[in-house]
Protein backbone atom coordinates (compact mmCIF):
# COMPACT_ATOMS: atom_id res chain seq x y z
CA UNK A 1 0.00 0.00 0.00
CA UNK A 2 1.43 3.41 -0.92
CA UNK A 3 0.71 6.43 1.26
CA UNK A 4 -2.24 8.56 0.25
CA UNK A 5 0.25 11.08 -1.17
CA UNK A 6 1.15 8.64 -3.96
CA UNK A 7 4.26 6.58 -4.73
CA UNK A 8 7.72 8.00 -3.99
CA UNK A 9 9.53 9.03 -7.17
CA UNK A 10 12.97 9.64 -5.67
CA UNK A 11 13.96 8.96 -2.07
CA UNK A 12 16.51 11.80 -2.12
CA UNK A 13 13.99 14.49 -3.05
CA UNK A 14 10.53 13.06 -2.39
CA UNK A 15 10.73 10.68 0.60
CA UNK A 16 7.65 9.69 2.55
CA UNK A 17 8.00 8.06 5.97
CA UNK A 18 4.52 6.60 5.63
CA UNK A 19 5.29 4.91 2.31
CA UNK A 20 4.81 1.16 2.70
CA UNK A 21 8.32 0.45 1.39
CA UNK A 22 9.78 2.76 4.03
CA UNK A 23 7.72 1.06 6.73
CA UNK A 24 8.68 -2.47 5.59
CA UNK A 25 12.30 -2.14 4.39
CA UNK A 26 13.81 1.20 5.44
CA UNK A 27 17.34 -0.17 5.94
CA UNK A 28 18.34 -0.31 2.27
CA UNK A 29 16.79 3.15 1.71
CA UNK A 30 18.88 4.60 4.55
CA UNK A 31 22.03 2.89 3.26
CA UNK A 32 21.51 4.30 -0.20
CA UNK A 33 20.76 7.81 1.07
CA UNK A 34 23.72 7.74 3.46
CA UNK A 35 26.05 6.75 0.61
CA UNK A 36 24.75 9.22 -1.93
CA UNK A 37 22.93 12.11 -0.35
CA UNK A 38 23.16 11.94 2.77
CA UNK A 39 20.42 14.38 3.92
CA UNK A 40 17.23 13.81 1.92
CA UNK A 41 14.51 16.40 1.39
CA UNK A 42 10.80 16.15 0.70
CA UNK A 43 7.97 18.62 0.23
CA UNK A 44 5.34 16.11 1.23
CA UNK A 45 3.75 17.24 4.51
CA UNK A 46 5.71 20.51 4.44
CA UNK A 47 9.42 21.04 3.79
CA UNK A 48 11.16 18.16 5.61
CA UNK A 49 14.82 17.08 5.82
CA UNK A 50 15.91 13.55 6.64
CA UNK A 51 19.50 13.07 7.87
CA UNK A 52 20.74 9.48 7.75
CA UNK A 53 24.23 9.53 9.28
CA UNK A 54 25.04 9.22 12.97
CA UNK A 55 27.17 12.36 12.84
CA UNK A 56 24.45 14.54 11.29
CA UNK A 57 21.64 13.26 13.51
CA UNK A 58 23.60 13.72 16.73
CA UNK A 59 24.99 17.11 15.67
CA UNK A 60 21.47 18.42 15.02
CA UNK A 61 20.21 16.90 18.28
CA UNK A 62 22.83 18.88 20.18
CA UNK A 63 22.19 22.16 18.35
CA UNK A 64 19.10 23.32 20.21
CA UNK A 65 19.47 26.94 19.10
CA UNK A 66 19.11 26.23 15.38
CA UNK A 67 16.89 23.17 15.73
CA UNK A 68 14.01 23.68 18.14
CA UNK A 69 11.85 21.02 19.79
CA UNK A 70 8.68 23.09 19.67
CA UNK A 71 7.43 20.93 16.77
CA UNK A 72 8.36 17.32 17.37
CA UNK A 73 5.62 15.55 15.43
CA UNK A 74 6.86 13.75 12.34
CA UNK A 75 3.44 14.04 10.70
CA UNK A 76 2.21 17.63 11.25
CA UNK A 77 -0.85 18.09 13.43
CA UNK A 78 -3.93 19.71 11.87
CA UNK A 79 -3.15 23.11 13.32
CA UNK A 80 -5.99 25.06 11.71
CA UNK A 81 -8.61 22.78 13.22
CA UNK A 82 -6.90 22.70 16.58
CA UNK A 83 -6.65 26.48 16.80
CA UNK A 84 -10.41 26.85 16.51
CA UNK A 85 -11.09 24.24 19.14
CA UNK A 86 -10.70 24.85 22.88
CA UNK A 87 -9.09 21.54 23.69
CA UNK A 88 -6.98 21.56 20.55
CA UNK A 89 -5.74 25.01 21.48
CA UNK A 90 -4.75 23.70 24.91
CA UNK A 91 -2.76 20.85 23.43
CA UNK A 92 -1.04 23.03 20.88
CA UNK A 93 -0.67 26.02 23.14
CA UNK A 94 1.12 24.33 25.99
CA UNK A 95 2.58 21.24 24.37
CA UNK A 96 3.97 18.35 26.34
CA UNK A 97 7.14 19.54 28.09
CA UNK A 98 9.97 18.73 28.34
CA UNK A 99 9.86 16.96 24.95
CA UNK A 100 8.12 19.82 23.09
CA UNK A 101 10.17 22.60 24.64
CA UNK A 102 13.57 24.30 24.51
CA UNK A 103 15.44 25.71 27.51
CA UNK A 104 14.55 27.23 29.92
CA UNK A 105 11.12 25.50 30.01
CA UNK A 106 12.80 22.23 29.07
CA UNK A 107 15.34 22.37 31.90
CA UNK A 108 13.02 22.60 34.89
CA UNK A 109 10.26 20.37 33.52
CA UNK A 110 12.79 17.60 32.76
CA UNK A 111 14.16 17.97 36.28
CA UNK A 112 10.67 17.29 37.65
CA UNK A 113 10.38 14.04 35.69
CA UNK A 114 13.80 12.43 36.16
CA UNK A 115 13.46 11.32 39.82
CA UNK A 116 10.47 9.19 38.79
CA UNK A 117 12.66 7.13 36.46
CA UNK A 118 15.87 6.75 38.46
CA UNK A 119 17.33 3.23 38.79
CA UNK A 120 16.05 2.99 42.36
CA UNK A 121 12.54 4.08 41.44
CA UNK A 122 12.39 1.81 38.40
CA UNK A 123 13.41 -1.16 40.57
CA UNK A 124 10.17 -0.59 42.51
CA UNK A 125 8.12 -1.10 39.32
CA UNK A 126 9.85 -4.39 38.44
CA UNK A 127 7.64 -6.78 40.50
CA UNK A 128 4.54 -5.17 39.00
CA UNK A 129 5.97 -5.55 35.49
CA UNK A 130 6.78 -9.21 36.17
CA UNK A 131 3.23 -9.83 37.45
CA UNK A 132 1.78 -8.21 34.34
CA UNK A 133 3.95 -10.37 32.05
CA UNK A 134 3.09 -13.55 33.94
CA UNK A 135 -0.64 -12.93 33.97
CA UNK A 136 -0.65 -12.13 30.25
CA UNK A 137 1.17 -15.41 29.55
CA UNK A 138 -1.27 -17.30 31.80
CA UNK A 139 -4.02 -16.19 29.41
CA UNK A 140 -2.48 -17.89 26.37
CA UNK A 141 -0.03 -20.48 27.74
CA UNK A 142 -2.12 -23.46 26.58
CA UNK A 143 -2.89 -21.98 23.15
CA UNK A 144 -1.12 -22.92 19.94
CA UNK A 145 -1.02 -19.34 18.62
CA UNK A 146 -0.68 -15.88 20.12
CA UNK A 147 -0.49 -12.39 18.72
CA UNK A 148 2.78 -11.34 20.36
CA UNK A 149 2.05 -7.65 19.70
CA UNK A 150 -1.64 -7.43 20.67
CA UNK A 151 -1.80 -10.01 23.47
CA UNK A 152 1.60 -9.37 25.02
CA UNK A 153 3.87 -6.45 24.01
CA UNK A 154 1.04 -3.92 23.71
CA UNK A 155 -0.36 -4.77 27.14
CA UNK A 156 2.75 -4.24 29.28
CA UNK A 157 3.99 -0.59 29.13
CA UNK A 158 0.51 0.91 29.25
CA UNK A 159 -0.23 -0.89 32.51
CA UNK A 160 3.07 0.17 34.08
CA UNK A 161 2.74 3.84 33.10
CA UNK A 162 -0.95 3.73 34.09
CA UNK A 163 0.19 2.63 37.55
CA UNK A 164 2.72 5.50 37.74
CA UNK A 165 0.05 8.01 36.75
CA UNK A 166 -2.44 6.37 39.12
CA UNK A 167 -5.12 5.73 36.48
CA UNK A 168 -7.36 2.65 36.67
CA UNK A 169 -6.40 -0.54 34.83
CA UNK A 170 -9.72 -0.73 32.98
CA UNK A 171 -8.58 2.32 30.98
CA UNK A 172 -5.72 0.31 29.41
CA UNK A 173 -7.34 -0.41 26.05
CA UNK A 174 -8.79 3.09 25.79
CA UNK A 175 -5.35 4.68 26.35
CA UNK A 176 -3.83 2.40 23.74
CA UNK A 177 -6.54 3.37 21.24
CA UNK A 178 -6.06 7.08 21.91
CA UNK A 179 -2.26 6.98 21.70
CA UNK A 180 -2.32 4.90 18.49
CA UNK A 181 -4.93 7.24 17.04
CA UNK A 182 -2.66 10.19 17.71
CA UNK A 183 0.75 8.78 16.74
CA UNK A 184 0.13 5.92 14.38
CA UNK A 185 -2.91 6.81 12.30
CA UNK A 186 -1.54 10.31 11.79
CA UNK A 187 -2.68 10.42 8.16
CA UNK A 188 -6.28 10.24 9.37
CA UNK A 189 -6.54 13.78 10.70
CA UNK A 190 -10.05 13.47 12.09
CA UNK A 191 -9.24 10.31 14.07
CA UNK A 192 -5.99 11.90 15.20
CA UNK A 193 -7.65 15.04 16.47
CA UNK A 194 -10.43 13.17 18.25
CA UNK A 195 -7.93 10.80 19.90
CA UNK A 196 -5.84 13.56 21.45
CA UNK A 197 -8.94 15.50 22.41
CA UNK A 198 -10.44 12.54 24.28
CA UNK A 199 -7.13 11.91 26.01
CA UNK A 200 -6.77 15.55 27.05
CA UNK A 201 -10.36 15.73 28.33
CA UNK A 202 -9.80 12.57 30.34
CA UNK A 203 -6.59 13.88 31.90
CA UNK A 204 -8.21 17.23 32.74
CA UNK A 205 -10.90 15.36 34.67
CA UNK A 206 -8.29 13.24 36.47
CA UNK A 207 -6.29 16.33 37.47
CA UNK A 208 -9.42 17.98 38.90
CA UNK A 209 -10.31 14.84 40.82
CA UNK A 210 -6.79 14.54 42.28
CA UNK A 211 -6.82 18.18 43.37
CA UNK A 212 -10.06 17.58 45.23
CA UNK A 213 -8.74 14.46 46.95
CA UNK A 214 -5.49 16.18 47.93
CA UNK A 215 -7.38 19.12 49.37
CA UNK A 216 -9.32 16.58 51.46
CA UNK A 217 -5.92 15.38 52.75
CA UNK A 218 -6.11 12.02 51.00
CA UNK A 219 -2.59 10.58 50.62
CA UNK A 220 -1.73 9.93 46.97
CA UNK A 221 1.55 8.64 45.50
CA UNK A 222 1.10 9.02 41.76
CA UNK A 223 2.94 11.30 39.33
CA UNK A 224 -0.02 13.63 38.69
CA UNK A 225 -0.56 14.19 42.42
CA UNK A 226 3.18 14.83 42.82
CA UNK A 227 2.99 17.61 40.22
CA UNK A 228 -0.06 19.12 41.95
CA UNK A 229 1.78 19.08 45.29
CA UNK A 230 4.92 20.59 43.72
CA UNK A 231 2.82 23.36 42.18
CA UNK A 232 2.04 24.66 45.68
CA UNK A 233 5.66 25.79 46.04
CA UNK A 234 6.37 26.56 42.40
CA UNK A 235 3.97 28.84 40.55
CA UNK A 236 5.51 27.90 37.18
CA UNK A 237 3.77 24.53 37.49
CA UNK A 238 0.32 25.58 36.31
CA UNK A 239 -2.53 23.34 35.13
CA UNK A 240 -1.32 23.38 31.53
CA UNK A 241 2.13 22.10 32.60
CA UNK A 242 0.57 19.36 34.72
CA UNK A 243 -1.62 18.36 31.79
CA UNK A 244 1.20 18.46 29.22
CA UNK A 245 3.63 16.50 31.36
CA UNK A 246 1.07 13.80 32.20
CA UNK A 247 0.15 13.59 28.53
CA UNK A 248 3.80 13.17 27.60
CA UNK A 249 4.38 10.27 29.96
CA UNK A 250 1.36 8.46 28.62
CA UNK A 251 2.29 9.01 24.99
CA UNK A 252 6.05 8.49 25.42
CA UNK A 253 5.63 5.45 27.63
CA UNK A 254 3.25 3.35 25.56
CA UNK A 255 3.94 3.04 21.82
CA UNK A 256 7.71 3.26 22.15
CA UNK A 257 8.34 0.42 24.58
CA UNK A 258 5.58 -1.75 23.18
CA UNK A 259 7.21 -1.42 19.74
CA UNK A 260 10.61 -2.35 21.13
CA UNK A 261 9.26 -5.43 22.94
CA UNK A 262 7.37 -6.49 19.80
CA UNK A 263 10.41 -6.05 17.53
CA UNK A 264 12.55 -8.08 19.92
CA UNK A 265 10.07 -10.97 19.95
CA UNK A 266 9.75 -10.73 16.18
CA UNK A 267 13.51 -11.01 15.80
CA UNK A 268 13.70 -14.03 18.10
CA UNK A 269 10.82 -15.73 16.27
CA UNK A 270 12.56 -15.15 12.92
CA UNK A 271 16.04 -16.13 14.12
CA UNK A 272 15.98 -19.47 15.99
CA UNK A 273 19.77 -19.42 16.62
CA UNK A 274 19.39 -16.15 18.56
CA UNK A 275 16.48 -17.59 20.53
CA UNK A 276 18.66 -20.61 21.36
CA UNK A 277 21.53 -18.30 22.36
CA UNK A 278 19.29 -16.42 24.77
CA UNK A 279 17.92 -19.65 26.25
CA UNK A 280 21.33 -21.25 26.74
CA UNK A 281 23.08 -18.03 27.87
CA UNK A 282 20.53 -15.89 29.75
CA UNK A 283 23.33 -13.45 30.67
CA UNK A 284 23.34 -12.34 27.00
CA UNK A 285 20.08 -10.51 27.72
CA UNK A 286 21.81 -7.22 28.62
CA UNK A 287 23.68 -6.86 25.32
CA UNK A 288 20.75 -8.40 23.41
CA UNK A 289 18.36 -5.69 24.62
CA UNK A 290 20.81 -2.95 23.57
CA UNK A 291 21.17 -4.61 20.18
CA UNK A 292 17.40 -4.86 19.71
CA UNK A 293 17.15 -1.16 20.58
CA UNK A 294 19.88 -0.28 18.10
CA UNK A 295 18.77 -2.45 15.22
CA UNK A 296 15.03 -1.88 15.54
CA UNK A 297 15.01 1.64 17.01
CA UNK A 298 11.37 2.62 17.24
CA UNK A 299 11.46 6.41 17.56
CA UNK A 300 11.89 9.23 15.02
CA UNK A 301 11.32 12.77 16.32
CA UNK A 302 11.18 16.12 14.55
CA UNK A 303 12.86 19.49 15.02
CA UNK A 304 11.93 22.85 13.51
CA UNK A 305 14.63 25.04 11.94
CA UNK A 306 14.71 28.39 13.79
CA UNK A 307 16.41 30.51 11.11
CA UNK A 308 17.56 30.22 7.49
CA UNK A 309 20.84 28.29 7.55
CA UNK A 310 23.26 26.15 5.63
CA UNK A 311 23.72 22.74 7.22
CA UNK A 312 26.45 20.79 5.43
CA UNK A 313 25.43 22.22 2.06
CA UNK A 314 21.67 21.90 2.64
CA UNK A 315 19.91 25.28 2.44
CA UNK A 316 17.41 24.99 5.27
CA UNK A 317 14.75 27.65 5.74
CA UNK A 318 13.21 28.88 8.96
CA UNK A 319 10.15 26.69 9.65
CA UNK A 320 11.48 23.61 7.81
CA UNK A 321 11.33 20.39 9.76
CA UNK A 322 14.18 17.97 10.32
CA UNK A 323 13.23 14.37 11.04
CA UNK A 324 15.59 13.04 13.68
CA UNK A 325 16.35 9.71 12.13
CA UNK A 326 17.73 7.93 15.19
CA UNK A 327 16.92 4.53 13.59
CA UNK A 328 19.10 5.30 10.52
CA UNK A 329 21.92 6.72 12.69
CA UNK A 330 21.98 3.37 14.49
CA UNK A 331 22.72 1.58 11.22
CA UNK A 332 25.61 3.85 10.20
CA UNK A 333 28.72 1.79 9.28
CA UNK A 334 30.94 4.72 10.30
CA UNK A 335 30.00 3.98 13.93
CA UNK A 336 28.78 0.36 14.04
CA UNK A 337 30.71 -2.55 12.64
CA UNK A 338 28.57 -4.53 10.23
CA UNK A 339 25.50 -2.46 11.21
CA UNK A 340 22.88 -4.50 9.37
CA UNK A 341 23.86 -7.64 11.27
CA UNK A 342 21.94 -8.11 14.50
CA UNK A 343 24.58 -9.39 16.93
CA UNK A 344 23.19 -10.12 20.40
CA UNK A 345 26.73 -10.17 21.78
CA UNK A 346 27.66 -6.75 20.35
CA UNK A 347 29.93 -5.15 22.94
CA UNK A 348 30.54 -1.67 21.53
CA UNK A 349 27.09 -0.23 21.03
CA UNK A 350 26.70 3.51 21.59
CA UNK A 351 23.28 3.58 19.94
CA UNK A 352 20.96 6.58 19.94
CA UNK A 353 17.63 4.76 20.15
CA UNK A 354 16.90 6.94 23.19
CA UNK A 355 18.02 10.11 21.40
CA UNK A 356 21.03 12.30 22.10
CA UNK A 357 21.63 15.61 23.83
CA UNK A 358 19.34 17.42 26.25
CA UNK A 359 16.19 15.57 25.19
CA UNK A 360 17.65 12.10 25.66
CA UNK A 361 14.86 9.80 26.82
CA UNK A 362 13.76 10.49 30.37
CA UNK A 363 12.29 7.00 30.72
CA UNK A 364 15.18 4.89 29.40
CA UNK A 365 15.73 3.07 32.72
CA UNK A 366 12.06 2.11 32.78
CA UNK A 367 12.08 1.09 29.13
CA UNK A 368 15.13 -1.13 29.63
CA UNK A 369 13.60 -2.78 32.70
CA UNK A 370 10.34 -3.44 30.86
CA UNK A 371 12.19 -4.85 27.86
CA UNK A 372 14.37 -7.17 29.93
CA UNK A 373 11.53 -8.37 32.15
CA UNK A 374 9.13 -9.00 29.27
CA UNK A 375 11.61 -10.80 27.00
CA UNK A 376 13.10 -12.90 29.81
CA UNK A 377 9.67 -13.95 31.08
CA UNK A 378 8.38 -14.82 27.61
CA UNK A 379 11.46 -16.86 26.69
CA UNK A 380 11.48 -18.67 30.06
CA UNK A 381 7.84 -19.64 29.99
CA UNK A 382 7.20 -20.08 26.24
CA UNK A 383 10.67 -21.09 25.02
CA UNK A 384 9.78 -22.45 21.58
CA UNK A 385 8.07 -20.15 19.14
CA UNK A 386 8.21 -19.01 15.53
CA UNK A 387 6.32 -16.70 13.21
CA UNK A 388 3.01 -18.39 12.39
CA UNK A 389 2.48 -16.58 9.10
CA UNK A 390 4.94 -13.92 7.91
CA UNK A 391 2.32 -12.39 5.61
CA UNK A 392 0.15 -11.55 8.63
CA UNK A 393 2.77 -9.37 10.37
CA UNK A 394 1.58 -5.75 10.47
CA UNK A 395 4.23 -3.06 10.98
CA UNK A 396 3.67 0.58 11.90
CA UNK A 397 5.94 3.41 10.79
CA UNK A 398 6.17 7.19 10.95
CA UNK A 399 6.96 8.48 14.44
CA UNK A 400 7.13 5.06 16.11
CA UNK A 401 8.14 1.91 14.24
CA UNK A 402 7.28 -1.61 15.31
CA UNK A 403 4.97 -4.60 14.89
CA UNK A 404 1.26 -4.01 15.53
CA UNK A 405 0.26 -7.58 14.71
CA UNK A 406 2.72 -10.40 15.30
CA UNK A 407 1.26 -13.88 14.76
CA UNK A 408 3.37 -16.38 16.74
CA UNK A 409 3.06 -20.14 16.88
CA UNK A 410 4.30 -22.23 19.82
CA UNK A 411 6.19 -25.33 18.69
| Site for ligand HEM, rule CB under 6 A | 61, 69, 72, 98-99, 110, 113, 157, 161, 248-249, 252-253, 256-257, 260, 298-299, 301, 324, 326, 353-355, 359, 361-363, 366-367
Q: Quick one: which of 335, 399, 409, 411 has its CA closest to 71?
A: 399
Residue closer to ligand HEM by CB (options 269, 293) is 293
Distance of CA 290 to the CA centre of its chain: 15
Residue closer to ligand HEM by CB (options 90, 246) is 246
- 69 within 8 A of 305, measured Cβ to Cβ: no
Biggest alpha carbon–alpha carbon distance for the chain: 64
CB of 303 to ligand HEM, least distance (A): 7
Residue closer to ligand HEM by CB (options 8, 242) is 242
CB of 365 to ligand HEM, least distance (A): 9
Residue closer to ligand HEM by CB (options 181, 355) is 355
Helix (H/G/I), strand (E/B), else coil: 337:
coil
As a whole number of angstroms, the distance between CA 73 and CA 50 comes to 14
- 406 within 8 A of 393, measured Cβ to Cβ: yes
CB of 353 to ligand HEM, least distance (A): 5
CB of 12 to ligand HEM, least distance (A): 24
- 317 within 8 A of 342, measured Cβ to Cβ: no
Residue closer to ligand HEM by CB (options 179, 316) is 179
Q: Quick one: which of 46, 42, 49 has its CA closest to 79?
A: 46
Q: Which residue is nearest to ligand HEM (CB)?
A: 363
CB of 290 to ligand HEM, least distance (A): 11
CB of 143 to ligand HEM, least distance (A): 27
**CB burial readout 247-284, b (16+ within 10 A) else e:** bbbbbbbbbbbbbbbbbbbbbbbeeeebbebbeeeeeb
Residue closer to ligand HEM by CB (options 8, 251) is 251
Amino acid sequence: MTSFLGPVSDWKTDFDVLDEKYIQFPFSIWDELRNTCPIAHSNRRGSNWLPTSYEDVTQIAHDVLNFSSTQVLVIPFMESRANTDDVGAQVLGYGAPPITSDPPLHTWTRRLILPWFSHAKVAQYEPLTLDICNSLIDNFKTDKFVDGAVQYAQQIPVRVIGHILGVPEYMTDTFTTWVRGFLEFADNSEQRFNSIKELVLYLISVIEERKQLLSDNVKLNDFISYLIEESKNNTQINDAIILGMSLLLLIAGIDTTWSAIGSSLMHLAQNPHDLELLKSNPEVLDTAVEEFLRAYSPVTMARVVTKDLDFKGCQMSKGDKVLMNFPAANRDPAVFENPNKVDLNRKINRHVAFGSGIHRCGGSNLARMELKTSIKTFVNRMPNFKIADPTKIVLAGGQVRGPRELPLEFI
